[in-house]
Amino acid sequence: MDRKKTYKAIVIIVVVTIVIAVALFYFYLRDDNDKYEGIPTLEPYINDKVGVLQESDYNDLQDFCTYIEYNNSCEIALLIVDNTGSYDLNTFAIRTFEKNGIGQEGKDNGVLVVFLVPEVGDIRWRTVTGDGVSDILSGFVLKGFENEYLIPAMEQGDLSWGITLYIYAIGLELDEKYISEGNDPWEEYPIWFIPLNGWQLAIFVVVFILLTIVTKGRVLLLIPYLFTRGGGRGGFGGGGTGGGGSRGRF
């Protein structure tokens, strides 16, 4: 077999391998995709889909939740929506918590706070806690935070400030009572400035080599964009086991 035929055979093998891997991955996740249809993918840590939060409150909460994770590894996420699609609020919140893997893997120390703020009707909320922090953030404790911080601010017409105080109360409780080393989300990556774990990086390298061959090196022009760390991390830590917490309406 001459060199040209060998080259074509290698390319075909690589392409077939990638196609098979993608197909297996698709069939493996198909059931989960059905379960989580219509459930959003969150960015760490604050996700305001309605525009409820004041800009200063949004920035403060983003910085505060970052501090909490770096200090003791707990992950707090906030989601504000105006509808939950075909789900009731409780199911929507729990599946969002599970899908996004909020909390560290093996610790399940995540918290998700979902506010449903429709154009017409009552404001409702659901706080979901991971198994690893459910004793610290019991329903009784969370109700106390709601009555002390959230509801009084809402009664004064300042939902943004009420949500901010509520998240701060949750975070400070975890900061005081949850004992764990901090977590730098970028430490889990083999190459710190590329947000890919081991197997993702291996697939990326194979595909990138193939594209380099096919495009005769032109894909190399994308390197400055691919290796930019950017302004934030890519996702949560892989926890997401839980269901305790609190709920309310106003």
- The Cα 209–Cα 224 span in angstroms is 16
**Cross-strand partners of 82:** none
Amino acid found at 174: L
Is the domain of 61 the same as that of 177?
yes
CA 232 to chain centroid, in Å, comes to: 12
Using N-to-C axis directions, what is the helix angle for 159-177 and 55-72, rounded to 10°?
10
Shared domain check, 90 and 5: no
d(CA 168, CA 132): 19
At 60, which CATH number? 3.10.310.50
pLDDT of res. 105: 86
In order, the DSSP letters of 36-48 are TTTPPPPPSSEEE
Residue 40 lies in a domain: no
81 with 116, same domain: the answer is yes
Torsion, CA 192, CA 197, CA 199, CA 200, rounded to 10: -90
Tell me the C-alpha distance between 124 and 139, whole Å: 16
Max CA distance (Å), the chain = 80
Tell me: do 76 and 168 sit in the same domain: yes
**Are residues 21 and 132 located together in one domain of the fold?**
no
Q: What residues make up the domain containing 5?
A: 1-35
Mark whether 219 and 132 lie in a shared domain: no
The first and second tokens of residue 46, run together, are: 């604050």
**Confidence (pLDDT) at 151:** 96
8 A C-beta contact, residue 121 and residue 156: no
Say whether both 81 and 11 belong to one domain.
no
Based on the fold, state whether residues 76 and 26 are members of the same structural domain: no
Is 149 part of any domain? yes
Residue 128: its H or E element: strand 124-130
Please give the tally of structural domains in the chain. Answer: 3
How far apart are the C-alpha atoms of 10 and 17, rounded to whole Å? 11
Task: Answer yes or no: is 52 within a domain.
Answer: yes
- Are the beta carbons of 80 and 45 closer than 8 angstroms? no
Q: What are the CA-CA distances from residue 52 to residues 44, 143, 152, 162 (Å)?
A: 17, 22, 17, 11
> What integer pLDDT is reported at residue 228 of this predicted model?
44
Q: What is the pLDDT of residue 77?
A: 97
Both 172 and 199 in one domain: the answer is no
Per-residue pLDDT of the chain (250 residues; tens, 9 = 90+): 566 666 666 666 766 667 666 555 555 555 556 788 999 999 989 999 999 999 999 999 999 999 999 988 999 999 999 999 999 999 999 999 999 999 998 889 999 999 999 998 899 999 999 999 999 999 999 999 999 999 999 999 999 999 999 999 999 999 999 987 555 454 555 554 455 556 666 776 777 677 667 666 665 555 554 554 444 455 666 666 666 777 787 7
